[in-house]
Structure 1
């Protein structure tokens, strides 16, 4: 009951301000004020004001539990452990054995030892499988020669 009264009073005050603004021939500004003034009544009528109150009470209850319940702290410890395990799994997955290059000779990414031993230029895998992407391998090679 009190919530509806406050929302209607806020909307009425905003509409009064919009009328005064329109009286001064600032119609664009008056329209914007009227639009903002109708928000409290609209929020009340849709039930979003009571929903916001429920959310605020739920957050407050959670904050109290955070301070006074050890099980909440244990839950945070479990969440932290899961994040650490996930990060470790990602780091371990990225570590691969990288073939060592001979000094003074650059190794192209994806080039195997047989291609280097025979002195052939390695062909990108996409160029082997898709003829439309063969020109991208050439472009990539030109960019590598230019140091880009």
Structure 2
């Protein structure tokens, strides 16, 4: 109730300031101020302010955030213990996850590069010097 009243008062004050700016013929600044002033009013009308206030001052909501935090800590703790107990090296762990996985799916390739180089496409035979006489004529025409 109080939050809605404060937001409405801020909106009315902002619209009053926008009216003064419009009276002084600063229409662009007045329109911008009116737009900012209407935001809290719109939040009050949609019920978003009530929802935020109910969540922020609700002990049940804060207890829920605490439960979510404990659950997250438990997940991370069990992952750490599981990694420590497995006792495998990183490479063995990757092989155990997906034994038939290809190298790109496991990250950087640890295989040596193949000795055979891929075949280069054959280059066409170099033709004799092309005729640039027309380009030279254009350049001479422009004095270059």
Q: TM-score, normalised by structure 2?
A: 0.51
The structure, 1 or 2, with the larger RCO (C-alpha pairs under 8 Å, 6+ apart) is: 2
Residues 1:79 and 2:75 aligned together:
yes
Structure 1: 5+ residue stretches without partners = 100-106, 124-136, 140-148
Deviation at 1:13, TM superposition (A): 0.5
Look at both structures and tell me which one has the larger radius of gyration over its CA atoms. Answer: 2
Q: Structure 2 matches for 1:101-116, cutoff 5 A?
A: 107-108=112-113, 111=114, 116=115
Task: State how 1:1-148 maps to structure 2 within 5 Å.
Answer: 1-58=1-58, 61-62=61-62, 66=66, 75-82=71-78, 84=80, 91=90, 92-93=93-94, 94=106, 98=110, 107-108=112-113, 111=114, 116=115, 121-123=116-118
Once superposed, which parts of structure 1, at least 4 consecutive aligned residues long, lie more than 6 Å away? Answer: none
| Bigger helix fraction | 1
Length, aligned pairs only: 103
- Aligned-residue Cα RMSD (Å) equals 4.1
TM-score (norm: length of structure 1): 0.50
Q: Which blocks of at least 5 consecutive residues in structure 2 are unaligned? A: 95-105, 122-144
